[in-house]
A and B are shown apart, each in its own frame.
Chain A
Amino acid sequence: MNTEPTLFELSKPGRKAWTLPKLDVPGIDPKDYFGNAGRKDSRLPELSEIDIARHFTRLSILNHHIDKGLYPLGSCTMKYNPKINERASRLPGFAEIHPLLPETACQGALQLMYELGEYLKEITGFDAITLQPGAGAHGELTGMMMVRKYFEKKGEKRTRVLVPDSAHGTNPASITLAGFKVEKINSDEKGQIDLKGLENASNQTVACLMVTNPNTLGIFESRIRRICEIMHSKGALVYLDGANLNAYMGIHRPGDAGFDLMHMNLHKTFSTPHGGGGPGGGPVAVKSWLEPFLPKPVIRHSSHYWLDYDRPDSIGKVLAFSGHFGVFVKAWTYIRMLGPEGLRDASECAVLNANYIRAGLEGIYELPYKGHSLHEVVFSGSNLRQYGIRTLDIAKGLLDYGLHAPTVYFPLIVSEAMLIEPTETESLESLDDFIKAMKEIAEQAKTNPDRLHNAPLKTPVQRLDEALASRKLDVNYEESV
């Protein structure tokens, strides 16, 4: 496959794609009007529309994507993105409305947001919600700022936030941005939070414990109620990273287990597309005692829907407007299409599929934690190290099968980790293909390890030189000319 030139290499002076109507008012010469502040040339590339259509189409086919095949990235919940979601968010009455329309003129949009909030509260078991945060990490930051405000309001100075060692990297980063100190809590041999360690670390200086449940090993913290009690007995709060909500919709509600607040990821659990890295949606649901601190505005419903800005204890805004509305439309559509039975079925099938892969690969790869997992399962490739094969080689080998790799080298507490989350939308045949490929790779590690060291061979490019990328940093076409 040839390298696709950049837009700049495709550019040819005189080409154009844009059109505009004839100016129907008197023109103004920007040179005269702006004087020194005026610009001469922006040096953008010049292309015709067919150049643009072909360039991006050719680029697009270089991507792996869900519509092409399995995407078993653990912790990312790469489930199918229903097409009706896309059509829904493009309805002119949603896509073409200004965020500062007076409330009387956008009742439908406010109703949709209000209802989505109500659905999410019911699914998670909380009392109040904000839809504003732009993604999961943004939700974490929002949540931590609320925790901080909660203690400020109580007049308590608490500086520490506890995080298990299996946590997502966003957790410690968000905690730091909110002005807290991060303190790591170890996992026990079962992959769960070590209660002794937690008790020893807990005192009046701890503001919060941030937990992912089921954790990033796919294991449900069976003593979660006790964990919440320990924290509450010290006056601290418990935050749930809801990245793994797909494991238990309709089966368990974190609000019932004692959590004080949580974020969820609309682009994981609620089928809104990942878009190559975003946009997502990171609503934060809270118990009543944290409600005053929610970002403003809060959507209310009386005889009509309205936005409540009169929130003296709010942490303020975290985005310029009320969040990723286009994403809300998709999540609302998904929840309504599935209903309570469908959501429960989604979680059940997600758990079935993860355990099917677990059963299929047990004995082929190392299983560091025994017992059933929920929606994702972590294996270790360390048994192949004797052949000089590392997890990275396994991942690259999978790409040659037309499959995507699992999340690798995460969670950090498992060496040579492979975190596999097939999601509920993969069929039995698709799971079998994956298991077969993983078995063949394990076999190849013994018989032909060099083939794996060189993998992938069938992809648009082969292994890329990341060290060179960082050393001779070319991040702007301008610079490289």
Chain B
Amino acid sequence: MKYTPHTPEDKRLITERIGVRNIEELFSGIPKDIRVKGKLNLPGPASELEITAELEKLAASNSRPICFAGCGAYDHYLPAIVDTIVSRPEFYTAYTPYQAEVSQGTLQFMYEFQSLVCRLFDMEVANDSMYDCASALAETAHMARDITHRQKILVSAGINPNYLDVVKTYARGLNVPLGTIPLKNGTTDLAVLKQMLDDQVAAIMVQHPNFFGTIEPMNEISRLVHAKNGLLIVSVDPLSLGLLNPPGKYDADIAVGEGQSLGIPLSFGGPYLGLLTTRKRFIRKMPGRLVARTIDSNGKKGYVLALQTREQHIRRERATSNICTNQALCALAATVYLAYLGPRGIRATGEHCLAKSHYLARRISELPGFELKNEQPFFKEFAVRTPVSASSIINAGLKNNILAGVDLGRFSPEWKNQILVAVTEKRTRTEMDRYIDFLKSEFGGQ
């Protein structure tokens, strides 16, 4: 199969017009000794029919158990309208809107995306997206140092370990000293935080709800860091913001989030959507694209890319970030999803997550040998201490078509008897009762 439209006659005409005898001549600039001899060693061309059959076979060999796993990727319901809109070629086959006059569709939805994220987060400005929450968080370290002219970043141990890995990778690039604030009783240890804060700390990073699902004391954390003139960087689950106070309410300076929970499929880990928001006065230090509303030569409202002088294609080695391609189409999905939910929908969805996760948590904690790791309030995710290894529970669950959660032992050997369980609005009581029955029948005697 080829997607090139030229007939042999077209090719003849083109080579004639160019003034070469054959196509080969056009490649004469590539030295002979570094040309491919013969053919690449790849499977041969195929028809759509054959490829579809093969793709279906590959897809079918992945299990789709009832999902109680989270850890930064959640099985929320995807309304039909979202995929209908993002499937429009007018959106997905367009490029970055550099020619604004023929890109108003993309530019306006991005402006709406920025505005929706600002309202949801109660922050003043949002960019047009980062690759995912982890990379967004990683870039905020650079941003915070640029704003404060201080060096050190303190990271709460309640940050998702996958995100922390990315933060560390980026931090090594710019020699950013990182410190870890431990947890106490499931939330960031305020006493230790207070001791660690000094006038060298550019910012602290906190996740809320944290990696174990627990609500952090954001007001107290905010007061402590601001007393030392450091910045508060918080990573939130945007879908929790129908119920929980938004970052602006506890005076966050920079807030990031994983937009996957806003209408984006699990898709084995990506593409997802990094949300990044901040204060208006830090806007020039912010990475990523930004759309602004303006007027055209007739005074008609329109949209353009703004403050591009921060970006790599203008500022080059002095840019705030190297990001170019972002997650625009995922941002469109989130824009449609937030328009679909509205204020009552996001609240109701949050209430379902809250009620259902607490139902399952209560039922699990009633089983002998199982107990909740933390007692504090949580939103849709919680950690459970298990009487046997978490991996044995996960594996047994798969045999019962249940993905029982995430084995925390994958992050630390001391957590090998703990699982992280997430419950979204999609789960039903019947599914949760099946989960309990499975635990009882497989591990009830322990």
State the CA gap A454–B13 with chains docked (Å): 36
Q: Which residues of chain B are within 8 angstroms of A390 by Cβ–Cβ distance?
A: none
Which listed residue (A92, A220, A320) contacts B160, Cβ 8 A? A320
Q: Which residues of chain B are within 8 angstroms of A222 by Cβ–Cβ distance?
A: 29-31
> B34 to A225, Cβ gap below 8 A?
yes
**B355 part of interface (Cβ distance < 8 Å):** yes
Choose, from B16-24, B146-154, B197-205, B224-232, the stretch at the interface. Answer: B16-24
Interface string of B82-104 (1 = CB under 8 A from A): 01110111111111111111111
B213 CB to nearest A CB, Å? 13
A43 CB to nearest B CB, Å? 5
**A450 part of interface (Cβ distance < 8 Å):** no
A216 CB to nearest B CB, Å? 12
Residue of A nearest to B42 (CB): A340
**B414 part of interface (Cβ distance < 8 Å):** no
Choose, from B260-268, B366-374, B437-445, the stretch at the interface. Answer: B260-268
**A170 part of interface (Cβ distance < 8 Å):** yes
> B48 to A84, Cβ gap below 8 A?
yes
> With A42-B343, A278-B329 in contact, do A456 and B101 touch (Cβ < 8 Å)?
yes
A317 CB to nearest B CB, Å? 4
**A174 part of interface (Cβ distance < 8 Å):** yes
> A460 to B36, Cβ gap below 8 A?
no
State the CA gap A464–B16 with chains docked (Å): 42
> B29 to A78, Cβ gap below 8 A?
no
> With A39-B241, A92-B64, A475-B291 in contact, do A67 and B104 touch (Cβ < 8 Å)?
no
State the CA gap A222–B91 with chains docked (Å): 39
> B324 to A135, Cβ gap below 8 A?
yes
Q: Which residues of chain A are within 8 angstroms of B93 by Cβ–Cβ distance?
A: 65-67, 81, 273-274
> With A105-B63, A464-B294 in contact, do A470 and B265 touch (Cβ < 8 Å)?
no
Which listed residue (A37, A78, A122, A473) contacts B215, Cβ 8 A? A37
Q: Which residues of chain A are within 8 angstroms of B265 by Cβ–Cβ distance?
A: 95-96, 326
**B276 part of interface (Cβ distance < 8 Å):** no
> A52 to B1, Cβ gap below 8 A?
no
Among B1, B162, B283, chain A packs the most CB atoms within 10 A around the CB of B1
> With A18-B348, A37-B218, A173-B319 in contact, do A320 and B72 touch (Cβ < 8 Å)?
yes
Which listed residue (B46, B169, B267, B294) contacts A474, Cβ 8 A? B294
> With A39-B246, A475-B125 in contact, do A172 and B26 touch (Cβ < 8 Å)?
no
Which listed residue (A46, A135, A465) contacts B342, Cβ 8 A? A46
Residue of B nearest to A76 (CB): B95
> B2 to A463, Cβ gap below 8 A?
no
Q: Which residues of chain B are within 8 angstroms of A60 by Cβ–Cβ distance?
A: 85, 88, 90-91, 105
**A368 part of interface (Cβ distance < 8 Å):** no
> B102 to A94, Cβ gap below 8 A?
no
Q: How many residues of A contact B (CB 8 A)?
A: 205
**A178 part of interface (Cβ distance < 8 Å):** yes
**B434 part of interface (Cβ distance < 8 Å):** no
> A94 to B59, Cβ gap below 8 A?
yes
Interface string of B238-256 (1 = CB under 8 A from A): 0001111110010000000
Q: Which residues of chain A are within 8 angstroms of B83 by Cβ–Cβ distance?
A: 90
> With A28-B358, A276-B95, A425-B4 in contact, do A47 and B31 touch (Cβ < 8 Å)?
no
**A312 part of interface (Cβ distance < 8 Å):** no
**A248 part of interface (Cβ distance < 8 Å):** yes
**B180 part of interface (Cβ distance < 8 Å):** no
> A177 to B329, Cβ gap below 8 A?
no
State the CA gap A210–B73 with chains docked (Å): 35
> A94 to B134, Cβ gap below 8 A?
no
> A277 to B268, Cβ gap below 8 A?
no
Residue of B nearest to A36 (CB): B219
State the CA gap A29–B249 with chains docked (Å): 20
Which listed residue (A105, A169, A358) contacts B314, Cβ 8 A? A169
State the CA gap A275–B332 with chains docked (Å): 9
> B349 to A336, Cβ gap below 8 A?
no
State the CA gap A470–B294 with chains docked (Å): 9
> B109 to A98, Cβ gap below 8 A?
no
- A431-481 residues with Cβ-Cβ distance < 8 A to B are 454, 456, 459-466, 468-470, 473-480
Interface string of B301-323 (1 = CB under 8 A from A): 11110110001111111110111
**A379 part of interface (Cβ distance < 8 Å):** no
Interface string of A419-433 (1 = CB under 8 A from B): 000001111100000
> B97 to A277, Cβ gap below 8 A?
yes
> B166 to A318, Cβ gap below 8 A?
yes
**A288 part of interface (Cβ distance < 8 Å):** no
State the CA gap A314–B209 with chains docked (Å): 29
Q: Which residues of chain B are within 8 angstroms of A335 by Cβ–Cβ distance?
A: 42
Choose, from A108-116, A198-206, A232-240, the stretch at the interface. Answer: A108-116
Which listed residue (A108, A175, A219) contacts B59, Cβ 8 A? A108
Interface string of B161-204 (1 = CB under 8 A from A): 01101101110111100000000000000000000000000000
**A157 part of interface (Cβ distance < 8 Å):** no
Q: Which 4 A-B pairs have the closest CB atoms?
A: A321-B269, A93-B59, A99-B269, A275-B329
A-B contact pairs, 15 of them (CB 8 A): A16-B344, A44-B338, A93-B59, A98-B403, A101-B63, A169-B324, A252-B34, A278-B326, A279-B327, A319-B134, A320-B258, A340-B44, A473-B292, A475-B290, A476-B124
